[in-house]
Structure 1
Amino acid sequence: MKKIINEPSTVVAGSLTGLELAHGDLLTVIHDPAVIVRVDAPVPGKVAIISGGGSGHEPMHGGLVGPGMLDAACPGAVFTSPTPDQVTTAIEKTDGGAGALLIVKNYTGDVLNFETAAELAETEVRTIVIDDDVAVKDSTFTAGRRGVGGTVPLEKITGAAAARGDDLAAVHAVAERVVANVRSMGMALTAPTVPHVGEPSFDLADDEMEVGIGIHGEPGRARVPVENADGVVARLLEPILEDLPFAEGDRVLLFTNSMGATPLLELYLAHGIAERMLADRGIVVERRLVGPYVTSLEMQGMSLTLLRLDDELLELWDAPVHTAALRWGN
C-alpha cells in the first residue's frame, strides 16, 4: 500500500484539518464529533440541508458545504457511516428555525443513523433517501439500490431551493422529484485500498474490468474483459436509459464522474462519447458536470449519471453556488 498518510487511524482527522485550513472562508470543522459546517451557519429562516457518509468519496460531502448547497456534512471513518451524534450536532449547528432536510445515501448504516438523529432532533426534520444506482438491486451494504452519483445534483438542487426561501415541505418535494428522475451506473479498472485494511477491496486481472461497482469498492453486476471507451460508455449508458426509461426529447443533466484515479483526459473522452450516444437517441443534454466529485479513494474507473430535467430543476441547477468543489454564479 502506497499512500500519503501517517497513520491509518488519523487519516480522516488530518484531512479535515487541512480542509478547514484550505477553505476557512466557506466552512468550519467541528472535530468532536466530526462535522463540517458552513461558516455562516445557522442562516436564519432557511431550511438547513445536511448530508454525510463515509470518508473516501471526496469532495463529496465536505467539499460541497457552502452557500447554495450543503449547510453541513457528517464525515464518517473511511467507507463507514457517520454516527447519530454527528448528525444531531449538524442539525443543532445549522438550525435557523425552518427545519432541516437530511440527504441520505441508501446504505443501511447511513439510513439507520440519520433516522436516529432525526428522531432526536428538536427542530422539524425530513429525510430523503437517494437510491440512483441501476447496477444492482441489493448488496451487502444496502437494502435496495445504492446511493451514488445522483447525490451531487440532489444536494445542489435542494440547496438552491432552500437558498431561494422554500419551506421544508417544498424543499422535500423538490428532492423527491430529483430522486425519481436520476439514475447512475459505474465501473472500475482497479479496486480502492482502504488505509486501515491495507489491500485492495477486490482483485481484478490486468485484462478485466468490473461493471456496476459501488462507491465503496463493492463488486458489480459483471466482470468482463476490458473494452475500449465506446464499449465502456455503452455498458454504463444502456442500463441507465432503460431503467427510467429515458426517451427521445428528454432534457437531461449528464454527469461524468471519475472514481478517483481516472484522469480528465480519459474522462472528457468518455463524456464526449456519452453525449454522442445520447444525441443519437434524441436525448438533449442541457447541462453537464465532468470531474472527480464522488470518488472511491484511488479507484480507477468512472460513473455516468443522468438527471431528467424540467424548467424548475434546470433553474435550481443553474442557481449560484459557492463551495470548495462547485462554484458558479454571483
Structure 2
Amino acid sequence: MKKLINDPKNVVTEAVSGFGAAHADLVTVSLDPIFIVRRDAPVSGKVGIVSGGGSGHEPMHGGFVGPGMLDAAVPGAVFTSPTPDPILAATKAVDGGAGVLHIVKNYTGDVLNFETAADLAAAEDIEVRAVIINDDVAVKDSLYTAGRRGVAGTVLVEKIAGAAAERGDDLAGVAEIAERVNAQVRTMGVALTPCVVPHAGEPSFTLADDEIEIGIGIHGEPGRERIKLEPADAIVDRLLGAVVEDVPFVSGDKVLLLVNGMGGTPQIELYIVYRRAAEVLAEKGIEVTRSLVGNFTTSLEMQGVSVSVLKLDDELTALWDAPVHTAALRWGR
C-alpha cells in the first residue's frame, strides 16, 4: 500500500483538519465530535441541511458545505457510518429555528445512526426530517443495505434541496423537493480496479487485469456482473441502458446528466463516457439540458465511473442553477 498518510487511525481527523484550514473562508471544523459546518451557521430562519457518511467519498460530503448546499457534513471513519453524537452536534449547530433536514444515503448504519440522532434532537425541541437516498439501480439489496444504495445522485439531491432551503422554503417544502429529486434520479457505476482502505492495507476486492465489475457500490460492494473489459462505448451502453429503463426516462424528457469519477479515473476518460452517454440519450429523444462531469462521489482511488440521469422540470432546473458556493461546487456568485 502506497498512500500519503501518517497513522491510518488518524486519516479522517487529519484530512478534516486540512480541509478546514484550506477552506476557512467557507467552513468551520469541529474535531471532537467531528463535523464540518458552514462558517455562518446557524442561519436564522433557514432550514438547516445535514448530510454525512463514511469518509473516502470526497468531495462528498464536506466539499458540499456552504451557501446554497449543505449546512453541515458529518464524516465517519473510511467507509463507516458516523455515530449519532457528531450527527446530533452538527444538527444542533445548524438549527436556525426552522428545523433540520437530514439527507441520508441508504446504508443500514447511516440510516440507523441518523435516526438515533434525529430522536435525540427531537428531545431538544429541534424538528428533524430525513430523506433516504436510493438512486442506485444496480442491485436491490447489497452487503450494507436493505433496498437500493444511495450513490452519486445524492450530490444532486443536496444541491437542489440546498437551493430550496436558501430561497426560504419551510422544512416540509425542502423535504418534498429532496424526495422529488430522489424519485427522479437513477445511477449505475462500474469499477475497473479496487481501492485500498487505509486501515485494511489491501484491496477491497480483486479483479483480474481484463475484468470489470458492472454495478459496483461506492464501498466496493459487488454489482450485477463481472465481465471482460469492453470499449468505453459498450460499457456506457450497459450502464445507461439500466438507468434509462428504470424511471423510465422517455422521449421528450429534459435531464441533467452526471458523469462521476470514482477517484482514480482521469478526466479524459470521463469525457469519453459523457460523449457516449449524451449520444445515447439524444438517440432516445431525451434532451440533456444540464450536465456535470468530474469526481464528486468517489471510492478512494478506485478507477471507474458512474452515470446518473435526473429528470428535470422548470423548478428543479431553476434550483440547480441557483447560486452555490462550496469547496467542490460553485457558480452564480
* TM-score bracket relative to the smaller structure: over 0.9
Output the aligned Cα RMSD: 0.5
State the partner residue of 1:16. Answer: 16
State the partner residue of 1:43. Answer: 43
What is the identity, as a one-letter code, of the residue corresponding to 1:53?
Answer: G
What is the identity, as a one-letter code, of the residue corresponding to 2:48?
Answer: A
Give the Cα–Cα distance (whole angstroms) in 1 for the partners of residues 178 and 157 of structure 2: 6
Give the Cα–Cα distance (whole angstroms) in 1 for the partners of residues 266 and 182 of structure 2: 28
Q: Choose from 313, 326, 332 the match for 1:323.
A: 326
What is the identity, as a one-letter code, of the residue corresponding to 1:13?
Answer: T
State the partner residue of 2:105. Answer: 105
Q: Choose from 196, 218, 221 the match for 1:193.
A: 196
State the partner residue of 1:68. Answer: 68
Aligned residue-pair number? 330
Give, in angstroms, the shift of residue 318 of structure 1: 0.2
Matches within 5 A, 1:73-222: 73-121=73-121, 122=124, 123-222=126-225
Give the Cα–Cα distance (whole angstroms) in 2 for the partners of residues 258 and 274 of structure 1: 14
State the partner residue of 2:238. Answer: 235
| Percent identity of equivalent pairs | 67
What is the identity, as a one-letter code, of the residue corresponding to 2:101?
Answer: L
Give, in angstroms, the shift of residue 140 of structure 1: 1.2
Query: SS state of the match for residue 289, structure 1?
Result: strand
Give, in angstroms, the shift of residue 259 of structure 1: 0.2
State the partner residue of 1:279. Answer: 282
Query: SS state of the match for residue 91, structure 1?
Result: helix
Please give the per-residue CA displacement for 1:111-166, whole angstroms capped at 9, x wherever unaligned: 00000011111211100000000000001100100000110000000000000000
Give, in angstroms, the shift of residue 176 of structure 1: 1.0
Give the Cα–Cα distance (whole angstroms) in 1 for the partners of residues 86 and 145 of structure 2: 21
Give the Cα–Cα distance (whole angstroms) in 2 for the partners of residues 272 and 259 of structure 1: 18
Query: SS state of the match for residue 114, structure 1?
Result: helix
State the partner residue of 2:252. Answer: 249
What is the identity, as a one-letter code, of the residue corresponding to 1:8?
Answer: P
Give the Cα–Cα distance (whole angstroms) in 2 for the partners of residues 235 and 191 of structure 1: 20
What is the identity, as a one-letter code, of the residue corresponding to 1:224?
Answer: I
What is the identity, as a one-letter code, of the residue corresponding to 1:220?
Answer: G
Give the Cα–Cα distance (whole angstroms) in 1 for the partners of residues 239 and 32 of structure 2: 40
Query: SS state of the match for residue 89, structure 1?
Result: helix
Query: SS state of the match for residue 243, structure 1?
Result: coil
Give the Cα–Cα distance (whole angstroms) in 2 for the partners of residues 178 and 288 of structure 1: 15
Give the Cα–Cα distance (whole angstroms) in 2 for the partners of residues 84 and 191 of structure 1: 30
Give the Cα–Cα distance (whole angstroms) in 1 for the partners of residues 175 and 134 of structure 2: 15
Query: SS state of the match for residue 248, structure 2?
Result: coil
Query: SS state of the match for residue 293, structure 2?
Result: strand
Structure 1 ranges of 4+ moved more than 3 A: none
State the partner residue of 1:295. Answer: 298
Give the Cα–Cα distance (whole angstroms) in 2 for the partners of residues 130 and 164 of structure 1: 22
Query: SS state of the match for residue 256, structure 2?
Result: strand
Give the Cα–Cα distance (whole angstroms) in 2 for the partners of residues 100 and 237 of structure 1: 34
Q: Does 1:28 align with 2:37?
A: no
Give the Cα–Cα distance (whole angstroms) in 2 for the partners of residues 7 and 252 of structure 1: 44
TM-score normalised by the chain length of structure 1 = 0.99
